[in-house]
Every structure is written in structure tokens, then in C-alpha cells.
Amino acid sequence: MGDSPARAIPVTKISEEYAYLAQQRCACGGRYQLGSQALVRREGRYLDLLTARCRQCGARASWAFDVTERFRPRPHHAA
């Protein structure tokens, strides 16, 4: 998938990333197992980069998720 902000999948929760990964299939039909996860900042956006390996054939794959919304300041409410 690449790790550019323009191609990143927007998410608001980590669980969305894991659900996406669970739905992906390798070209051989196998399921992926998470290998690593890294938070990076690119072009003013925060990206969570996941790499995985196919459980069946060992092929590697990676995805970028735009998690910038998690880092936006939340408005404070007066008590």
C-alpha cells in the first residue's frame, strides 16, 4: 500500500486497523499475521504503519493508516 498520507486509510481507533488487517488475504489465500507497528509523522499527518506476513506462504505486506484525528486537541468543557 505504501506509506504516503495520500494513500493512507483514515481510522479513528486502533481496533479499526486490526479489523482491516483481519479482512485482508494474501494472493495465495492465506491470512496475515501482524509483524510490526510504527507511528510516523509525514507531511503533517500521523500514520500508523502495519507490516504483516502471510501465515501460509510467508509473503510480506504493509498498510498505512491515517491516525491524525487521534492527535487533534479536544475542546475543553467548562465544569
Tens of pLDDT, residue by residue, the chain (79 residues): 556 778 999 999 999 999 999 999 999 999 999 999 999 999 999 999 999 999 999 999 999 999 999 877 777 666 5
Task: Please answer whether residues 32 and 56 qualify as being in contact, where contact means their C-beta atoms are separated by less than 8 angstroms.
Answer: no
Query: d(Cα 56, Cα 59) in Å, to the nearest integer?
Result: 8
Q: How many domains does the chain have?
A: 1
Domain that holds residue 59: 5-71
Q: Can you tell me which residue has the cell 501465515? A: 55
Within a domain: residue 33? Answer: yes
Within a domain: residue 79? Answer: no
CA 48 to chain centre: 5
Within a domain: residue 76? Answer: no
* SS3 assignment, position 60: strand
Query: d(Cα 78, Cα 48) in Å, to the nearest integer?
Result: 33
Q: Kindly state the greatest CA–CA separation across the chain.
A: 56
